[in-house]
């Protein structure tokens, strides 16, 4: 029996690159989709938010000197591309997925309409929320927190490049150690950066726990959904 009936899964956009320099790595996206498929087979309702860092990151690199809001809209459009790729890969793997966008691009994807998203989830379809929150100055982590709260997900699962929340950024501090769980208040007071502050604050206010785990570790998503010890739980 899965530990959760309905989850909001946030997939790192950057991780989609696999070992490539940018874009979508075929083997990586197929592997991610199969892991999602496994948990849907357990009877868990799955909504997904995917980032866009593999295609465009509004706050860095090529956007130097650009108007921040414009760069952020480009970032949101990158998440639409990833969402379409993800949903199409799901279709190829025999799943039914629907993409809903926070920005109106009606010829390409349907707009986000909450009751419709809830209906899809009840029907067992995977819903992919594209274009983040639809607003610049936010991230897809915040979109995950927002949509997670809206659809009544029991948990936000952040599948990322690290296997949990550490005492410090493990990419910079090799002596950092991983928490198996940590409260929101402690994570915020220690200024731990795995999720942005807006997403953290929203989840804390809504009493929506977050689980941080590795997107690279095979079977990790299933273990998380089964309530096994994996990654870090950020709790109220
Ligand atoms: N205390 C911490 N514990 C774990 N990771 C951290 C911490 N502080 C910073 N990080 C960094 O946060 C990154 C994950 O967040 P993020 O950039 O939002 O990834 P994505 O959105 O692609 O999943 C990790 O690669 C890690 O280097
Ligand atoms: O609500 C949102 C979500 C995303 N973005 C932009 O889209 C980019 C890609 O999203 P993110 O960096 O969160 O993706 P990931 O880290 O998962 O690759 C961000 O850098 C922002 O520029 C935004 O402006 N508003």
Atom 4 of ligand 1, nearest CA residue: 165
When pLDDT is cut at 50, 70 and 90, the band that residue 56 belongs to is: confident
Instruction: Report whether residue 198 contacts ligand 2, using a CB cutoff of 6 Å.
Output: no
| Ligand (nearest to CA of 22) | 2
Q: What is the pTM of this model?
A: 0.96
- ipTM, interface predicted TM-score of the complex: 0.94
Distance in angstroms (rounded) separating the CA atoms of residues 97 and 145 = 20
Q: How far is the CA of 163 from the centre of ligand 1 (A)?
A: 9
Res. 137 pLDDT band, cuts 50 70 90: very high
CATH number for the domain running over 6-235? 3.40.1160.10
Domain-by-domain residue ranges, the chain? 6-235
Give CA–CA dist 16/29, Å, rounded. Answer: 6
Residue 80's nearest CA partner among 137, 150, 143 is 143
Binding residue ranges for UMP = 52, 72, 133-140
pLDDT, tens digit (0-9, with 9 covering 90-100), for 68-122 = 999 999 999 999 999 999 999 999 999 999 999 999 999 999 999 999 999 999 9
At 186-208, the pLDDT tens digits run 998 899 988 888 999 999 999 99
Q: Report CA(192)–ligand 1 centroid distance (Å).
A: 9
pLDDT at 167 over 80: yes
Instruction: For residue 141, report the distance from its CA to the centre of ligand 2, in Å.
Output: 8
What confidence score (pLDDT) does residue 60 get? 67
Residue 94 has what pLDDT? 98
| Cα of 201 vs its chain's centroid, Å | 16
Contact of 215 with 32, CB cutoff 8 Å = yes
Confirm if 22 and 170 have CB atoms less than 8 A apart.
no
Query: d(Cα 176, Cα 68) in Å, to the nearest integer?
Result: 33
CB 165 less than 6 A from any atom of ligand 1:
yes
Residue 177 CA to residue 169 CA, distance in Å, equals 9
Question: 98: part of which helix (H) or strand (E)?
Answer: strand 97-101
* Binding positions for ATP: 10-13, 53, 57, 160, 166, 169
């Amino acid at each position: 029996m899965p530990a959760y009936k309905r989850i909001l899964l946030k997939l790192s956009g950057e991780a989609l690159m696999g070992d490539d320099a940018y874009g979508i790595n075929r083997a990586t996206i197929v592997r991610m989709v199969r892991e999602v498929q496994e948990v849907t087979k357990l009877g868990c309702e799955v909504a997904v938010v995917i980032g866009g860092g593999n295609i465009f990151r509004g706050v860095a690199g090529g956007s130097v000197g650009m108007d921040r809001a414009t760069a952020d809209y480009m970032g949101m459009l990158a998440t639409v591309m990833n969402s379409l790729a993800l949903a199409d890969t799901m279709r190829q793997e025999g799943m039914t997925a629907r993409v809903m966008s926070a920005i109106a691009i009606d010829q390409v994807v349907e707009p986000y309409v909450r009751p419709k998203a809830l209906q899809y989830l009840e029907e067992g379809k995977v819903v992919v929320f594209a274009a983040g929150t639809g607003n610049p100055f936010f991230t897809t982590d915040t979109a995950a927190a927002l949509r997670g709260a809206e659809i009544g997900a029991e948990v936000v699962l952040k599948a990322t490049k690290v296997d949990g929340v550490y005492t410090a950024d493990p990419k910079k501090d090799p002596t950092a150690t991983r928490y198996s769980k940590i409260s929101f208040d402690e994570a915020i007071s220690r200024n731990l950066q795995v999720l942005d502050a807006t997403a953290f604050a929203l989840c804390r206010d809504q009493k929506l726990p977050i689980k941080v785990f590795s997107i690279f570790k095979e079977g990790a998503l299933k273990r998380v959904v089964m309530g096994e010890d994996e990654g870090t739980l950020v709790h109220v």
